[in-house]
Amino acid sequence: MAKLLLKLQRYFRRRPVRFFTLLALYLAAGSLVFLHSGFSGEPTVPGSPRSPAAAQGPGLPYLGVMQLGRGFKAAATMPAGARRHGPWFKSTSKEPSERGKSRDNGGPRSRALRGRSGREKEEDRARYIGCYEDNTRRRTLRGMSFFDYKKMTVFRCQDNCAERGYLYAGLEFGAECYCGHKIQASNASESECNMECKGERSNTCGGINRLSIYRLELAQESARRYGSAIFRGCFRRPENVSIALPASQLMLNMSVDKCVDFCTEKEFPLAALAGTTCRCGFPSTLFPLHEREDEQLCAHKCAAEEFESCGSAEFLLVYQTQVQDNRCMDRRFLPSRAKQLVALASFPGAGNTWARHLIELATGFYTGSYYFDGSLYNKGFKGERDHWRSGRTICIKTHESGQKEIESFDSAILLIRNPYKALMAEFNRKYGGHIGFAAHAHWKGKEWPEFVANYAPWWATHTLDWLRYGKKVLVVHFEDLKRDLFVQLQRMVALLGVPACEDRLLCVEGQKDGNFKRSGLRKLEYDPYTPEMRKVISGYIRTVDAALKLRNLSGVPEDYFPR
């Protein structure tokens, strides 16, 4: 035996290549045997009756080696002595239910049945009342609305509507949620509400121009009170008051509660208290809410509430109700290809997303983007998915500042914001998302100083480059847009070449916040800027200020400069 081993050793010393070849073949054979042991039963693939994935779409072809890889992973984590199945075979006890899912996946009827079973579980907080028609021009539920094309669920819609005191919650197109106090359309066939919710495939969220509507059983009566209405101020009674505020009711026991509730039921966004008369309407050219009066002129006690003011016949106390003004909510792509590319240019954190929201409401057309942000698309910015040169959107969001990129646009709206605020907003977005906040550790760690060192110079060069290379640039300061939205939005819409409808712009004022406003509840309790940082940023501010004035434009607002 020893002689045989010695001969083999001499043989492989002379031919090492053969030794390594045989060794590789041995290891490969062992690996194949081990992989095969992961599939003692029949192979399972997506789309088979045993696959949970089958409930989410049509079957996919067998993927060969990829499936073996997934089988290996499942086998490696299997307890000793347990029977091995394919990676999607959770347990034999669930097999019949999985088969049931696969059979039911065929069409709208199965989804409606699953939706109804989900609805029965939610009877304690909401009652499903049916599928209803809807119209983009005249909504069935005319209260608040929001979209989420990725994570919409029935509970989320119900919860948002109930929190704001609405009686009804409706879901449409799998991803759109509408709230209201009154259903203003007729029933549709249940089979027409056939779209699965984007965030939970087991439930139905309406259909195309069809609403799955729930009555919110647990909506608190107190939540529908004026506590959630917005105080707009004291205003002089408009001329032709019956036209400006068309609905009215005499209330001898007047209170803010009663007037707001009355106008909410009538589906008007404004409630105006005029002594013993409650008036309802919309912001309009007859009643634009731009010229506030001294609140003392409205300080007349309510008959039913000693500590509330109810205005007078000449001076109206105005509240904005929970009813959404739908005159500016319709949006679509341009009917024909745009002849010019208009940039909506800004430094990151300067309010570009908010400006896009305002422009879409003011013009009725989607805005596009130089980039693609899935979270913005899911929140309703449908132009986000279009290529920026498609010509289907009214303007294009961009943070670019190079000469080549700037010269590719025919004109631009340049949005400038206080660098101290813009840098903090972008830092929050980078580490906390569009409406989130950076963690305390990020502010106190090395991330913040490095961020300021890299981004502060860019704030200045971004503006300087657009002033230098832009062909037709309209400068809008973020602070001016907040302070005087109507006038600044008029300027922006004029550059875009769209006729400015004043009633539509007034509607925008009531819907100005959008879905991407940080709550402000987590403001820093300290100043993150060091004296060295402020010295450098102040130099950049002076440079930009001088560049604006050199082009006969107003310089930066005074609050840019530290006191």
The neighbouring-strand residues paired with 361 are: none
With CA atoms as reference, report the closest residue to 256 among 285, 219, 230, 287: 230
Same domain? 436 vs 540: yes
Same domain? 301 vs 244: yes
Looking at residue 111, what is its pLDDT? 44
Among the ranges given (283-297, 476-490, 508-522), the one the predictor scored with the smallest mean pLDDT: 508-522
Model pLDDT for residues 147-177, shown as the tens digit of each residue:
888 889 998 898 888 876 677 899 999 999 9
Looking at residue 372, what is its pLDDT? 87
**If you compute the radius of gyration of the chain from its CA atoms, what whole number of angstroms results?**
31
Identify whether 115 is part of a domain.
no
Helix (H) or strand (E) holding 25: helix 16-36
Same domain? 210 vs 235: no
Looking at residue 485, what is its pLDDT? 92
Looking at residue 63, what is its pLDDT? 30
Distance CA 3, CA 11 (A): 12
In the predicted model, is pLDDT for residue 78 greater than 50? no
Same domain? 303 vs 375: no
Looking at residue 440, what is its pLDDT? 86
In the predicted model, is pLDDT for residue 301 greater than 60? yes
**Which one has a higher pLDDT value, 209 or 96?**
209
Average pLDDT over residues 243-248: 95
Using 50, 70 and 90 to split pLDDT, how confident is the model at 98? very low
Q: What is the largest CA-CA distance in the chain?
A: 120
Structurally, how many domains does the chain consist of?
A: 3
Distance CA 258, CA 526 (A): 43
Distance CA 270, CA 321 (A): 6
Q: Is residue 247 helix, strand or coil?
A: strand
Identify whether 549 is part of a domain.
yes
Distance CA 197, CA 112 (A): 11
With CA atoms as reference, report the closest residue to 350 among 256, 469, 236, 481: 481
Residue 34 tokens read as: 């081990």
Q: What is the dihedral of CA 69, 75, 77, 81, to 10 degrees?
A: 180
Q: Which domain holds residue 276?
A: 225-320
Q: What is the dihedral of CA 215, 216, 220, 226, to 10 degrees?
A: -60
Identify whether 73 is part of a domain.
no
Model pLDDT for residues 307-350, shown as the tens digit of each residue:
788 999 999 999 999 888 888 988 999 999 999 999 999 999 99
Q: Where are the alpha helices (H) located in 205-248, listed in sequence order?
A: 241-244
* 184 and 140 Cβ atoms separated by less than 8 Å: yes
Model pLDDT for residues 497-512, shown as the tens digit of each residue:
998 889 999 999 888 8
Place of tokens 């509240």: 319
Distance CA 119, CA 511 (A): 32
Residue 140 tokens read as: 């069935």
Using 50, 70 and 90 to split pLDDT, how confident is the model at 91? very low
In the predicted model, is pLDDT for residue 2 greater than 80? no
Distance CA 264, CA 270 (A): 8
Identify whether 185 is part of a domain.
yes
* 209 and 176 Cβ atoms separated by less than 8 Å: no
From 183, 216, 249, give the residue that closes a domain. 216
Handedness of CA 317, 318, 319, 323 (dihedral sign): positive
Same domain? 368 vs 473: yes
Tell me what percent of the residues of the chain surpass a pLDDT of 70: 74
Looking at residue 317, what is its pLDDT? 93
- Rounded (to 5) percent helix, strand, coil in the chain: 40, 15, 40
Looking at residue 81, what is its pLDDT? 36
Q: What is the SS3 assignment for 187-237?
A: ECCHHHCCCECCCCCCCECCECCEEEEEEECCCCHHHHCHHHCEEEEEEEC
Same domain? 211 vs 249: no
Among the ranges given (62-71, 207-216, 299-308), the one the predictor scored with the smallest mean pLDDT: 62-71
Identify whether 446 is part of a domain.
yes
Same domain? 307 vs 235: yes
Model pLDDT for residues 402-458, shown as the tens digit of each residue:
899 999 999 999 999 999 999 999 998 888 876 678 888 889 899 999 999 999 999
Among the ranges given (129-138, 204-213, 216-225), the one the predictor scored with the smallest mean pLDDT: 216-225
Same domain? 147 vs 205: yes
Burial class (CB in 10 A: 0-12, 13-18, 19+), 504: buried
CB atoms < 10 A from the CB of 424, how many?
Answer: 22
Average pLDDT over residues 66-87: 32
Q: Is residue 148 helix, strand or coil?
A: coil
Residue 505 tokens read as: 């712009």
CB atoms < 10 A from the CB of 104, how many?
Answer: 14
> Euclidean distance between the first and final Cα of the chain, in Å?
96
Looking at residue 400, what is its pLDDT? 93
**Beta strand ranges found along 181-229 (DSSP E):** 210-216
Residue 46 tokens read as: 């997506």
Identify whether 523 is part of a domain.
yes
* 401 and 463 Cβ atoms separated by less than 8 Å: no
CB atoms < 10 A from the CB of 397, how many?
Answer: 26
Looking at residue 51, what is its pLDDT? 36
Identify whether 411 is part of a domain.
yes
What one-letter code names the amino acid at 108? P
Handedness of CA 467, 469, 474, 476 (dihedral sign): negative
pTM of the model: 0.62
Distance CA 506, CA 296 (A): 26
Average pLDDT over residues 374-397: 91
Same domain? 136 vs 212: yes
Q: Is residue 467 helix, strand or coil?
A: helix
Mean pLDDT of the chain: 79
Same domain? 152 vs 246: no
In the predicted model, is pLDDT for residue 108 greater than 50? no
* 181 and 143 Cβ atoms separated by less than 8 Å: yes
* Distance from chain centroid for Cα 108: 28
In the predicted model, is pLDDT for residue 272 greater than 90? yes
Handedness of CA 312, 315, 320, 323 (dihedral sign): positive
Model pLDDT for residues 16-55, shown as the tens digit of each residue:
656 666 677 777 766 655 544 443 333 333 333 333 333 3
Distance CA 559, CA 563 (A): 8
Using 50, 70 and 90 to split pLDDT, how confident is the model at 375? confident
Among the ranges given (209-213, 304-308, 321-325, 473-477), the one the predictor scored with the smallest mean pLDDT: 304-308
Same domain? 284 vs 251: yes
Average pLDDT over residues 347-357: 93
Q: What is the CATH number of the domain that holds 360?
A: 3.40.50.300
What one-letter code names the amino acid at 534? R
Looking at residue 12, what is its pLDDT? 56
Identify whether 16 is part of a domain.
no
Same domain? 464 vs 525: yes
Helix and strand element counts for the chain (H, E) = 18, 15
